[in-house]
A and B are shown apart, each in its own frame.
Chain A
């Protein structure tokens, strides 16, 4: 479903305080991914069996996990792998989508038809199904997650890119450029691609958040990264067992995922609005 969000044509962003908060949140997680030790002094792997399953307190603001590790430190250190999965999966997904979408839109009727069938074929493999298949090939782990999420989310984006390119191709100024005698490749390079690709910036922002959500869902099925990694999906998966006795194990990493995805969405929509405003002007 990730990509379809972008189907919305024009958006009016309303809450600016929300935007500020979103930027702060994203900045926080980016720092966590690059230099986690700036945000916590605790070791995310250090166990303390006497201190297991402690609720949030001043000493452990997110509480401790089943091995007595500080959950806040684990969420902070987990940002690196989670963000990496999000970025890598989105990059993969966008690359596939770009190739498919652009060639379909600019190709002849036969190419377009074939690619459309192929996109439909990809649609027949929802992310989860694809992940299950890939796990049997590559085994569980980071690479599998990235490939599965990347390929699984590609067809939605491919359709959008195709639509975008077609729209730009049919617009007045492209026809005008053609009429002015510019060569076709040049028109593509100079006019069609830049204009069609502008919304991609937004897609990327949104895609990263959605990919993280997907990847953590796969961890839930036991298809995630190996312990003791504090990747957010792995934290959620481990927390599920203890949820009735230690709610924080499930709620805190969940909030990290949701707030990060939400913040990216808010920023993405803002950027989208600005871009479209720019286009209209």
Chain B
């Protein structure tokens, strides 16, 4: 097992921080304290206002990970600073050559359809995830290249064989996508599991009312909570009504009116208000932050100096803080979010606002003339960059504000930034997946491990370009560094290698950091012990309970 790493500059979880900050400052803040020492009681149904609705209840999108966390358990769980603790697997060891992982599984656990949980079930799950007919593309991105075979040694011993060493394995497995499902139900095929998946988790999917909510009821026989849970055994509450409230004004309104006990992603404009009235917590999502991935193969950003100049040209920090009302943190590092284990802190302020430097770099790069609009030109071409962003759910209204701030700021250095919103069908249909389609694109990848660098930055895959390498930046040295980091078990060495990789990306300005993804929750004062798990920011309701007022 891995030991805790050096303390991160910013803890991913700042749960309860706000509570402490506002305690007694006003009457509603005091309200929350009145339940502070309450003892868990059974009963009640949590009305939870979530944001987006996925097409299926299982799959490889973070929205699905959130839901899977409620009805399924994973093999392991990740806590702060990248430490891994037991969950469905009570223990594990890795062979000398680091290719064979042996997991000891919890005994006496049953899926909620009565099927026993055992090594055979785990094997079925691995095979289902990676079967082209029922592929989970996110699982594939993490372990597809590494997976060789799985084997059930006996009921409680599962053996996973890899093609090459892969140290982020356990972190990857801790995510909701890797929740273990009932093999009996899996055998019914993707359609049945889309709507009615079955796991071993604290809650059971009772009914999914599309466009409205998911009704969860508690699993009365639950006996497989992870070690980092606040209690073992069944959930305290009777169930969850998981509502889809897409509009953020409405979502916050449903909390203030009491129609929701807890909501997801508090609108940043209401954050201050929420801090005074509710228990708020914010999780800074690890992985690849929201960045400008600059196209290194075609267009103006092929020149490293121009890429660097773009970084210096805008006051990204001020732009982020203003657009997100000081709620969502700026992330200067373009390769990893500040809450990721092995994040290189020295890059926190990479490419600070420095208009003189930007101008100098652009001059050096030959963009010396300016046209009537103040846009730099070179050989008759204007310094125009097409910046594509996925409109709608991925980049929020605040995100669009941020982009406009940067656009306007970069004008001063002579950049002409064209913002291009990409509709969902264009975004997911792959319209902006090739080097000729943009100069920069904004995207992110939530991941509990620096191993995500491999997904994002490795060069071409065996049969095609690596689409996640949105900068189209191919550098064997970078790939080797990341691969070496992924393979070593020596933590100091690993950290050093990941840092090298981040510095290389930064030096090349292949991606310019902007802000982090976050999960925030605001809950009514009497709803205690809702927490956010650490791999993907999934809300956890297993420990939650409605406190009774103390006499």
Contact = CB atoms under 8 A, between A and B. Distances in A.
Q: Do A and B bind each other?
A: yes
Interface of A: 45-47, 49, 52, 66-68, 135-136, 139-140, 222-223, 226-228, 237-238, 240-246
B27 interface: no
A52 B404 CA distance: 13
B401 interface: yes
Given A139-B423, A226-B420, A238-B400, A47 B409 contact: yes
Given A49-B319, A226-B421, A227-B419, A241 B404 contact: no
Contact of B269 (A135, A223, A226, A242): A242
Chain B contact surface mostly: helix
B401 A238 contact: yes
B3 interface: no
Q: Which 4 A-B pairs have the closest CB atoms?
A: A241-B397, A49-B322, A245-B269, A47-B408
Given A49-B322, A238-B397, A241-B398, A228 B248 contact: no
Contacts of B94: none
Nearest to A136: B425
B35 to A, nearest CB: 26
B323 A241 contact: no
A53 to B, nearest CB: 8
Given A226-B421, A227-B419, 18 more contacts: A47-B404, A47-B409, A67-B401, A67-B405, A136-B423, A140-B423, A223-B423, A226-B418, A226-B419, A226-B420, A227-B421, A228-B419, A237-B397, A238-B397, A238-B400, A238-B401, A243-B249, A245-B270
A66 B267 CA distance: 14
Nearest to A223: B423
A131 to B, nearest CB: 11
B366 interface: no
A51 to B, nearest CB: 10
Chain A contact surface mostly: loop
A49 B318 contact: yes
A242 B409 CA distance: 23
Interface centre among A46, A68, A135, A140 (most CB of B within 10 A): A140
A242 B422 CA distance: 23
B321 to A, nearest CB: 8
B267 A241 contact: yes
B335 to A, nearest CB: 26
19 contacts: A47-B404, A47-B408, A49-B319, A49-B405, A66-B322, A66-B398, A67-B323, A67-B405, A135-B423, A135-B425, A139-B422, A139-B426, A222-B391, A222-B392, A222-B423, A227-B403, A238-B400, A240-B397, A244-B253
Interface centre among B247, B408, B409, B422 (most CB of A within 10 A): B408
A228 B405 CA distance: 9
A222 B396 CA distance: 11
A68 B325 CA distance: 12
B404 A67 contact: yes
